[in-house]
Amino acid sequence: MSDGAGDEAARRRTFAVISHPDAGKSTLTEALALHARVLTSAGAVHGKGDRRGVTSDWLEMEQARGISITSAALQFAYGDTVINLLDTPGHADFSEDTYRVLAAVDSAVMLLDAAKGLEPQTLKLFDVCRHRGIPVMTFINKWDRPGLDPLQLCEELSERIDLPAMPLTWPVGFAGNFHGVQDLRTGEMVRYERTAGGATAAPEEHLSPEQAREQHADDWEQACEESELMLAERGEFSYQRFLDGTATPVLFGAAMLNFGVRHLLDALVEMAPPPTPRLDVDERARELDAPFSAFVFKVQTGMDRAHRDQVAFARVCSGKFERGMNVTNARTGRPFATKYVQQVFGQQRSTVDEAYPGDVIGLVNATALRVGDTLYEGKPAVRFPGLPSFAPAHFAVARPKDLGRAKQFRKGVDQLESEGVVQILRSDRRGDATPVFAAVGPMQFEVAAHRLDDEFGVSVELDHLPYRTVRRLTDSTHRRVIESSRRAEVLTRTDGTDLALFNDDVALGALQRQHPELAVEHLIASGDGA
C-alpha cells in the first residue's frame, strides 16, 4: 500500500484546455498560471514590445506561427490544490495528440470564441469528452471584442450538442464593451481594471447589486434580466449534472486581459473532480493507494536543444512515485530506472522527487518508452489500455535528399514514430529506406520534415501518394489480390496492422466486385494494449 496516495490525489486537479484553433487556449493557459502567481507576467504569441511568447508554446514552429501544434504540461500550486494543466493542439491536423491528452485528464475546459461559438473542432472535442465521460467546463473567451449574444451562445450548447449551459458568471456589458461579470452565486458584480497589455493579473473590484445598478445602469439591468431568464429556463446549478456530463458550467471572460480567469480557476478547484481509480486492460479498477503505476501519453524530443534528450510524459494513476525507484515497462517486461525525472512548466523544468495520482511527470532520456506504455512497481503486473491510433487520411513516401545522411534519416524517422508525430508504414516492396509517412492532417508532414531537418540535419523529399480510402486488411493472404491493382497497395504499421490503401472508393468497389472474398474492414481508433 502507498501511504497517503489517496489523500494527495484528493488535492489534485488534472484537466486539459481544448478548443478550435485561435480560440485562445495558450493565452488562457498562461492567464491561469498568472493568477496562481506562478508567473509574474503573461506573454502572447506574436506579442509586441516586451511581451514574450507563451510559456506553453515552446516549439520554434509554434512561436513562428502563433498556433499550438504539440500538447504541453504545466504543473503549479494554487492554495492547497495542485494543478496539472495540459494545453493541447488546436489545429485539427493534430487531433490525435489531443485525443491522447484527453486520456490523461479528469476534466476539461472547453474554450469558445465569443464571436464564433461552436466550431467544427469544438464539436469533435465535445464528442470525445462525452465518449470518455470527461466533465466539461466552458469558458466563453474574447468578451472584450465584438461577438454573439450571450443567450445565443448558451442556446448553441443546448441545441447543437445537447449540453445545457449552467452559467456561474454572466457578462456585464455586451461583447466588445466588457465591464465585468455578475457572480451568479453571490449576486455581486466583479469589475475588472485593464493592465498594460494584459501582462499582469487584472485588479478586481467587488460591487454590491446596488452599486452595480448605480454605476452601470442599463448594462447591469440587462445582465440581471438575461441571467434570471437562464435560471428560469435551466434551473439552479447542479454539480451532479456537471460530473455526469449532462450539463456544463459556463463562465465569461477575456483571457488576453486576464478578465474572468480567477473565477474559472476557483471553479476548477471547487468543482473539477480529483483523480479516481483507473481501469486496467482487464477492466479492474486500480485503486489510488495501490503501488505506483502510470501510463505514457506523450513522448517529446527537442525540448532541451542543448542536450536533444527525449522526455516521456506519464500520468500517475496510483501510489506514490519516488525518484530513483525501479519500475517495470509492461510492454517489454523490462525494468526502467527513474533517475532523471522532472516537473515540467512549459519548457522550464525542475527535478521532481515524488508525485501522486493525477500528477504528470516527465521521464528524461526515456528512449525505451513509447506512447501507450504502462509503468508499474512491484507485483502483480498491471497494464492500462493502449492509446488510440487513428485512421490516416494522407500519405507520402519520405526519402533523404542526401543519401549520405541515410543513417541520420533512419534515426530521425524512428524518433518521430516513437513520439507519434506521424504514423510510419512499411512494406517489403518499398523497403526500409523509403518509409511512408501517414498522417491525420497534412500539417503533420510539415512538422515531421521540419524536425528531421532541424534536429537531425536531414532534408527530406516527400512524394505524396494518391490514396484516399483506407481499410484494415483482416486476411493477410489477400495482400496479393490488392497489390495486383495499380490503384492500391498494402502497407504495415508498426503495431502490426496491415492497411489496405486505395485511390478512392471506386477503386475499392471495383476490386471487391472482382474478388468478393476480399477481407477488409473500416479502420477504427485502436490501442496496442501497451
Among 107-111, 369-373, 525-529, the range scoring the smallest mean pLDDT is 525-529
More confident: 90 or 396? 396
Q: Taking residues 178-188, what's their average pLDDT?
A: 96
Please give the annotated binding residues, written as ranges. 87-91
**In this prediction, what percent of the chain has a pLDDT beyond 90?**
59
Quote the CA–CA distance of 316 and 320 in Å, as a whole number: 9
pLDDT at 424 over 90: yes
Helix locations, 66-149, DSSP H: 95-102, 120-132
- CATH no. for 278-376: 3.40.50.300
CATH superfamily to which 394-522 belongs: Peptide chain release factor 3, domain III (3.30.70.3280)
Give tens-digit pLDDT for 428-486: 889 888 999 998 878 889 888 988 998 899 999 999 999 999 999 999 899 999 989 99
CATH class held by domain 5-271: alpha beta
% the chain with pLDDT above 70? 86
pLDDT classification of 164: cutoffs 50, 70, 90: very high
pLDDT at 524 over 70: no
Q: What is the pLDDT of residue 36?
A: 74
Q: Give the chain's mean pLDDT.
A: 86
**pLDDT greater at residue 33 or residue 149:** 149
Across the range 180-206, mean pLDDT stands at: 89
Q: Cell 496562481 identifies what position? A: 36
CA atoms of 458 and 221, how far apart (whole Å): 63
Q: Where are the domains of the chain?
A: 5-271, 278-376, 394-522
Q: What are the binding residues for GTP?
A: 87-91
Look at residue 39 and tell me whether its pLDDT is greater than 60: no
SS3 77: strand
Q: Which residues contact 427 (CB under 8 A, 6 or more apart)?
A: 436, 489, 490, 491, 492
**pTM of this prediction?**
0.80
pLDDT of residue 4: 83
For 222-269, give the DSSP string.
Answer: HHHHHHHHHHHHH-S--HHHHHHTSSEEEEE-BGGGTBSHHHHHHHHH
Q: Which three cell numbers stand for residue 377?
A: 512497481
Q: Which three cell numbers stand for residue 181?
A: 461579470
Same fold, 5-271 and 394-522: no
Checking DSSP bridges between strand 498-502 and strand 488-493, what pairing results, if any?
A: antiparallel
CB 109 within 8 A of CB 13: no
The predicted-structure confidence for 295-354, as pLDDT tens digits, reads as follows 999 887 765 555 556 788 999 999 999 999 999 999 999 999 998 887 765 556 778 889
How would residue 42 be classed by pLDDT, with cut points 50, 70 and 90? very low
Q: Which position has the grid cell 512515485?
A: 321
Per-residue pLDDT tens digits for 110-153:
999 999 999 887 887 788 788 889 999 999 999 999 999 999 99
Question: What is the distance between the alpha carbons of residues 482 and 467, in angstroms, rounded to a whole number?
Answer: 13
How high is the pLDDT of residue 393? 87
Contacts of 513 (CB under 8 A, 6+ apart): none
